[in-house]
Amino acid sequence: MGVVANDGIDDSKALINAVDELRAVDGSVILKLPAGKIILSDIIYIERSDFILRGAGSGENGTILYVPRPLMYVHDPEPLKELREYLMEFDKRQREEKNNIDLAFSQYAWSGGFIWTQVPGERVKSYLEKYERPVNVLAKVTSGKRGDFTVTVKNNNSLNVGDVIELQLFNKDGKEGEIVEELYKNADVNVGTHHFNFPDLPIVRQQLEIKLIDGNQVTFKSPLTISIETSYDAQIVEWKYLENVGIEKFSINFPMSPLVAHHVEQGFNGINLTRLYNSWVKDIVIVNADSGILTEEIANVTIQNITTRGEHYAHYTVAMAGVHNVLAENIIVENSAEHPLSFNTFSTKNVYKNCTIYKKPVLDQHSGANHQNLFDNITVHINELKGDSYPLFAGGGAGYWKPSHGGAYSTFWNINIVLESPHLLKDPVLLNGMLDGPHARVIGIHGNTSFLVKYEPLAYIKMTNQSLHDVPSLYDYQLNSR
């Protein structure tokens, strides 16, 4: 279809044309990329289900997507119009007086990519009230218990078994809202204003498949993350998505570029996943990215066997934002990044499993009512230790969405810490960095020296300095126990 590797000619138009021609093809489609170097300088939008973009492998003899310049030189993407206006209207800037930096945020700091899945015309993230539109409400939900699969609805006439819907929960009662108490279990933490100032913004959401309908009882394939009370004004709404989309077996290489500042990234972003269900990304190597893989509003997606590397200081490697039931497995982070592994705003019930961070590790929870996420069987390498402590659990995010992790029961399981020179230490190393993460579960923090763990407030900390050989992966244990 016109894509010729290793000829030194830009392949963007040919690749875009190939994807466009396959939109109307019935059935499942695999677009195979040849081995060799393919030059890409524009965005490839994937906008259909049952589609696989497949290279010839991510190694040296496989498919290399070489991206010579960042997204800032691409025509402004229509899906980011609302974000651009938000950044301008609220004067979002990176200000660092000591570094003489006062620069506008980039629209690509946490959004966009050269490979981009989307449902055309469907909004992904709310920024400005003027863009709010009525949603298609399918049913009102009156009750449900955390951990259960069944809810009670007022009317099931618009629901069908097999539908994938979005369950939305709201805070309609301001600072005294019961849902805030339920999320944080009355912990003494500062709760950001966005929990109270936007009563029409769902602060808990799950994308769920309907398994059974029995009168006013609706059963899903996944459990509820929090209990539902009538004051939450909970509802089931239509959710539009792509499914059975695969992206696999190639590398994405960016040229080395200097770091300008945090949030001012130029847009060397690899893959941007939005509006996906039952899909996957696997066997991808990403070099010198600002952000390797970004996600927003996806569910039941596996991101597997991903390596990020290079000398460029990244913002994110593989990030989760506004996603549900996503498994990121075998993520190898060889480069330095601001947020090497990160659960961001509205992320619920997701897992980083069997991952390794080789430089400046942080297990980031990025505020925004994210809750019940799992760091599972993670190895981190600490090469620079200042004093006798390290902020492994430091959390990012804006103050208006604090605390750093949302609901109770966010979990760290079997975390292995590798220090560069443990024999030089006389005292245990204190692992800290989290002051506003209520009711976490921190189990099996261990490594090649002795550690102390400080995680606040009200964390359940057990089996420190013990490797969990019998149950190395909590995810696998629970999966095999079903």
Of 208, 223, 238, which residue constitutes the final position of a domain? 238
pLDDT recorded at residue 396: 83
Look over the chain and give the mean of its residue pLDDT values, rounded to a whole number: 96
Q: What is the DSSP letter of 479?
A: H
Q: Residue 471 contacts by C-beta under 8 Å, 6 or more apart in sequence?
A: 414, 477
457 in the same domain as 351: yes
Q: What three-state secondary structure class fits 78?
A: helix
Please name the amino acid found at residue 39: I
What sign does the CA torsion over 312, 303, 420, 462 have?
A: positive
Pair type for strands 93-96 and 101-104? antiparallel
Q: What type of residue is 283?
A: D
Q: Are 265 and 315 in contact (CB under 8 A)?
A: yes
Same domain, 373 and 346: yes
- Mean pLDDT value across residues 40-51: 99
* Rounded distance between C-alpha atoms, residue 384 and residue 402, angstroms: 28
What pLDDT score was predicted for residue 244?
A: 99
* pTM recorded for the entire structure: 0.97
Q: Say if residue 54 is in the same domain as residue 21.
A: yes
* Length of the chain (residues): 482
pLDDT value for 339: 97
Residue 4 domain-assigned (yes or no): no
Longest Cα separation, the chain: 68
Q: Which two tokens stand for residue 163?
A: 């539908």
Query: What percent of the chain stands above pLDDT 90?
Result: 94
Helix (H) or strand (E) holding 196: helix 194-197
Structure-block tokens of residue 290: 């600002």
Which tens digit of pLDDT belongs to each residue from 368-410? 999 999 999 999 999 989 889 999 999 888 899 999 876 789 9
Residue 50 placed within a domain: yes
Asked if the structure places residue 214 within a domain, the reply is yes
Query: Quick one: 327 and 381 in the same domain?
Result: yes
Tell me, what's the pLDDT at 478?
96
Whether 126 is covered by a domain: the verdict is no
**What string of H, E and C letters represents the secondary structure of 228-267?**
ECHHHCCEEEECCCEECEEEEEEEEECCCCCCCCCCCCCC
- Mention every residue, 6+ apart, whose C-beta is less than 8 A from residue 480: none
DSSP 152: E
197 lies in the same domain as 273: no
State which of 238, 273, 292 marks the end of a domain: 238
Q: Find out whether 173 and 231 touch, Cβ atoms under 8 Å.
A: yes
Residue 1: pLDDT over 80: no
CA distance 394 to 265: 22
H or E stretch at 117: strand 115-117
Query: Do residues 127 and 198 make contact, with C-beta atoms less than 8 angstroms apart?
Result: no
Domain co-membership, 209 together with 294: no
In a domain, 364, yes or no: yes
1 inside domain? no
The CATH number given to whatever domain includes residue 290 is: 2.160.20
Last residue of a domain, one of 238, 253, 271: 238
Angle at 135 between CA 216 and CA 201, to 5 degrees: 95
Q: Are strands 217-220 and 204-214 parallel, antiparallel or unpaired?
A: antiparallel
Residues 462 and 344 grouped into a single domain? yes
How many domains are contained in the chain?
2
Examine residue 6 and state whether it is found in any structural domain, yes or no.
no
| Cα 115 versus chain centre, distance | 16
Buried b / exposed e across 248-282, counting CB within 10 Å, b at 16+?
bbbbbbbeebeeebbbbbbbbbbbbbbbbbbbbbb
3-state SS of the chain: helix, strand, coil percent to 5? 15, 40, 50
Cα(53)–Cα(124) distance, integer angstroms: 22
> How many angstroms separate the Cα of 471 from the Cα of each of 332, 365, 412, 413, 449?
22, 24, 13, 9, 21
- Regarding whether 264 and 231 lie in a shared domain, the answer is no
- Three-state SS at 98: helix
Q: Check residue 482 and give its pLDDT.
A: 85
Per-residue pLDDT at 379: 99
For residues 18 and 111, membership in a common domain is answered with yes
Residues 306 and 427 in one domain: yes
Helix or strand or coil: residue 474? Answer: helix
Mean pLDDT of 315-332: 98
Instruction: Identify the residue whose tokens are 């939305």.
Output: 168
pLDDT the model gives residue 386? 83
Please name which of 235, 205, 209 lies closest in space to residue 345, comparing C-alpha atoms.
205
- Specify which residues 309 forms β-bridges with: 287
At residue 421, does pLDDT exceed 70? Answer: yes
Domain-located, residue 210: yes
More confident residue, 213 or 482: 213
Task: State the residue range of the domain holding 157.
Answer: 132-238
Q: Are residues 276 and 417 in the same domain?
A: yes
Same domain, 110 and 201: no
Q: Do residues 236 and 139 touch, judged by C-beta distance below 8 A?
A: yes
